[in-house]
Chains A and B, each alone.
Chain A
Amino acid sequence: MKIAVLSGKGGTGKTLVSVNLAAAANHANYLDCDVEEPNGHLFFKPVDIQSEDISIKIPVVDKMLCNGCRKCVDFCKFNALTYIYDRLVVFESMCHSCGGCVLLCKEDALTEKTKNIGVVQRGVSENVNVATGILNTGEASGIPIIKNLLNYSNENDKYTFIDSPPGSACTTMESIKDADYCILVAEPTIFGVHNLSMVYELVNLFGKPHGVILNKCLDEKNPAEEFCIENNIKILGKIPFEDELGKLNSNALIAVRENEKYYSLFSNLLKIVSKEVTK
């Protein structure tokens, strides 16, 4: 089963939840799709790493063949092509690699070249296969890297945890597209409710079964919990806001591998999640 972990903003606890759930399973895949700043590998410290370069297609112009019809310029929604007096110029950083310009060119003046945009690293950390997507700084879109990460997941493994990018934009959509279940991680603040509502809307739009893990819980009013009750959203469990967990986490240690208490907390969460997924 593929379980995506998402939240409306960074720092809510996506990595804490996905890393510890994967570590609590007997055998699991952990896919870090937060390609702009992947950090799951800092906890897992995977070994036997194999790297795969990820590239995209970018148009190249043959100036001799281009007749200046501008069909490609008018077509490109991202304005990656301009026609300056007598020649076509490509702005590589604006290109989203849709390939439309190449298809449209009747003169065959446009062909494609490959451009490296990042890397996927695969390694092992005890019981977890760890795959990390890393997008080169300045690249427009991490989607091709996320596609590569999701293709990999081994069907024989019971659990695949997808650590999604924060927010609800294209990269997040890509990372949850094939997920069987979505875990929304929420903070106990008004701001946290706002962020939770964003991803709640997204998973509903995608028709994904989902539940919420309330992170950083204190013995006081929890607006995120109230939001869940009001909207009849399943609360999968609560993670307390405490020093012990904070210290383990800030030392890049995996709580379930260090401390019996957290092992039982996340094992229990895993059982609840599994039950929800197979429901």
Chain B
Amino acid sequence: MKILIPSNEKSMDSSVCQSFGRAPYFLIYDTNSKEDIYIDNSATASLGGAGIKAAQTVVDNNVYAVLTPRCGENAASVLKTANIKIFKTKNSSIKDNIIAFNEDKLSLLSEIHAGFHNHGDK
């Protein structure tokens, strides 16, 4: 199955990005083939609704789950509608989180934050 992780760089050795919506890249990892591909997150420069646009990218890539430290309510709403699961990452290492996911040790993200809408733009 395919899982998606917001990443700071295009490498398995890089770290999980703290922001889902404005992460520079998304790692799409296939747990069967162990293949890792990286896509640019076109939502990084959004005026607003970055989470929604990022979630659209997730939906369009047909992944089973997203592994992320945090997720805003709009993005979560899109992912929920698309039946995509959201797991909470344990630390910043991409490799550790993939191992934990494979061993069923990650829990579903329960806290959905209200988003950081309109910051600096009233």
What residues on B are CB-neighbors of A64 within 8 Å?
A: none
Task: Report which of A36, A78, A84 forms a contact with B78, defined as CB distance below 8 A.
Answer: A84
* A89-B78 Cα distance, complex, nearest whole Å: 9
Check if B74 sits within 8 Å of A94, measured CB to CB: yes
Interface string of A70-102 (1 = CB under 8 A from B): 000100111110111100010101100000000
Instruction: Name B122's closest neighbour in chain A (CB-CB).
Output: A169
Instruction: Name A36's closest neighbour in chain B (CB-CB).
Output: B122
Q: A73-B56, A91-B74 are in contact. Are A79 and B81 (CB under 8 A)?
A: no
Tell me which of B53, B55, B82 has the highest count of chain A C-beta atoms within 10 A of its own C-beta.
B53
* A82-B21 Cα distance, complex, nearest whole Å: 14
Judged by a CB distance under 8 angstroms, whether B118 is at the interface is yes
Q: Which candidate, B43-51, B88-96, B98-106, is the interface stretch facing chain A? A: B43-51
Q: How many A-B residue pairs have CB under 8 A?
A: 56
Instruction: Name A142's closest neighbour in chain B (CB-CB).
Output: B122
Judged by a CB distance under 8 angstroms, whether A140 is at the interface is yes
Interface size class of chain B, counting residues whose CB lies under 8 Å from the partner chain? 20 to 34
Check if B81 sits within 8 Å of A78, measured CB to CB: no
Check if A167 sits within 8 Å of B122, measured CB to CB: yes
Judged by a CB distance under 8 angstroms, whether A171 is at the interface is yes
Instruction: Name A80's closest neighbour in chain B (CB-CB).
Output: B49
Check if A78 sits within 8 Å of B47, measured CB to CB: yes
Distance in angstroms from B46 CB to nearest chain A CB is 6
Check if B74 sits within 8 Å of A83, measured CB to CB: no
**Interface of chain A, main secondary structure:** loop
Q: A89-B78, A89-B81, A94-B74 are in contact. Are A82 and B118 (CB under 8 A)?
A: no
Distance in angstroms from B68 CB to nearest chain A CB is 18
* A140-B55 Cα distance, complex, nearest whole Å: 21
Q: A94-B48, A94-B49 are in contact. Are A79 and B122 (CB under 8 A)?
A: no
* A93-B122 Cα distance, complex, nearest whole Å: 14
Task: Report which of B46, B47, B56, B121 forms a contact with A83, defined as CB distance below 8 A.
Answer: B56
Judged by a CB distance under 8 angstroms, whether B52 is at the interface is yes
Q: A89-B78, A91-B49, A94-B52 are in contact. Are A82 and B122 (CB under 8 A)?
A: no
What residues on B are CB-neighbors of A84 within 8 Å?
A: 56, 59, 78, 81-82
What residues on A are CB-neighbors of B48 within 8 Å?
A: 77-79, 94, 140
Give residues of chain A (132-155) contacting chain B, Cβ–Cβ below 8 Å: 140
Check if A85 sits within 8 Å of B59, measured CB to CB: yes
Q: A84-B78, A91-B52, A94-B49 are in contact. Are A79 and B59 (CB under 8 A)?
A: no
What residues on A are CB-neighbors of B52 within 8 Å?
A: 79-80, 82, 91, 94
Check if B78 sits within 8 Å of A171, measured CB to CB: no
* A73-B53 Cα distance, complex, nearest whole Å: 9
Distance in angstroms from B2 CB to nearest chain A CB is 16
Distance in angstroms from A254 CB to nearest chain B CB is 28
What residues on A are CB-neighbors of B46 within 8 Å?
A: 77-79
Instruction: Name B82's closest neighbour in chain A (CB-CB).
Output: A84
* A91-B55 Cα distance, complex, nearest whole Å: 13
Instruction: Report which A residues bind B (CB closer than 8 A).
Output: 36, 73, 76-80, 82-85, 89, 91, 93-94, 140, 165, 167, 169-171
Q: List 8 A-B contacts (CB under 8 A).
A: A36-B122, A77-B47, A79-B46, A79-B49, A80-B49, A82-B53, A84-B56, A140-B118
Extra A-B contacts (4), CB below 8 Å, given A78-B49, A79-B49, A89-B78? A79-B46, A83-B56, A84-B81, A140-B118
